[in-house]
Amino acid sequence: AAATAAAAAASDVEAVVVGAVGTDTSMAHTALMLVLNGPYVCMVLGYALFSFVFGCLSLFVPDTYTHVFGWQANVVSTVFGGITVVTGLVGTAAGGVLVDYFARGRSEAARTQWAMFVVTVFTWLALPFGLAAFLVGNRPVFAFAALFVSLLFIFVTTAPLNGIVLSIVPTRLRSPAMAMSIFVMHVLGDLPSPMIIGALIDYVRPDKHNPNDHTNTRYVLSGLTGMLFFNAIAWTAGWLWYRSIIRRRRCARATAT
């Protein structure tokens, strides 16, 4: 029964995509089929934005907090590292548990929709805490607490993501779909982000007359975490798009019978 449900879910998406470009198996047509898969494109672009943000946090947060709070660099690095480890372990496990809980006994398509719902909701929840982590001023307890919550919610999304990418494409396209998602995630995400954000931080560095003022750097990092807004928009669009495809196909099958 599970296999039948999974095949039906895959065929829902496949019918939309394959109908547009045919069944050619060449690399060009495979790429075209993925590009024409709206939910897949939304999830991958959101993944790239996610990677863009997260790829910079570990590089610039310790140095920024060191200067803003006047703490020693090794203390800030230890606290930040501990937060990352704890939120990574707890958040990643929680993401998988939440999807299993909500989707227990449901079809593969329903499970995918619940997974997309979880990653979308927790990205929206992470956004305000990520902004607060850099906008609370010289209050390290509040800053680290907000950062902890934001990273925890971000890590909740990591467990379901790969499963979503594989579930919203036809079975025969799963390998190239995963390969393309990884490629796009790095090329548009954590590869250019340190250079872009680093250049922007250098541009807004305090002048020589006030070297201890890192307000502008905090604003840059708050803007970086603010990019989670576009990440959340992309994943929300992908979730709603996928849900509409499933509903249309189910209505079509019901009408046909």
Per-residue pLDDT of the chain (257 residues; tens, 9 = 90+): 444 444 455 555 554 444 444 555 678 888 888 999 999 999 999 999 999 998 888 888 888 888 888 888 889 899 999 999 999 999 999 999 999 998 888 888 889 999 999 999 999 999 999 999 988 878 889 999 999 999 999 999 998 998 899 899 988 888 999 999 999 999 999 999 999 998 888 888 765 556 566 677 888 888 889 999 999 999 999 999 999 988 888 787 777 76
Measured in Å, how far apart are the chain's first and last C-alpha atoms? 20
Residue 40, classified by CB atoms within 10 Å of its CB into exposed (0-12), middle (13-18) or buried (19+), is: buried
Tally of CB atoms within 10 A around 10:
21
Distances (CA, A) of 56 to 40, 51, 155: 25, 9, 15
- Res 130: pLDDT: 92
User: Do 241 and 42 contact (CB within 8 A), yes or no?
Assistant: yes
| pTM value surpassing 0.75 | yes
CA–CA separation, 118 and 137 (whole Å): 31
Phi-psi label, residue 211: left if phi above 0, alpha if psi -120 to 50, beta otherwise: alpha
Residue 124, classified by CB atoms within 10 Å of its CB into exposed (0-12), middle (13-18) or buried (19+), is: middle
Displacement of CA 102 from its chain's centroid (Å): 20
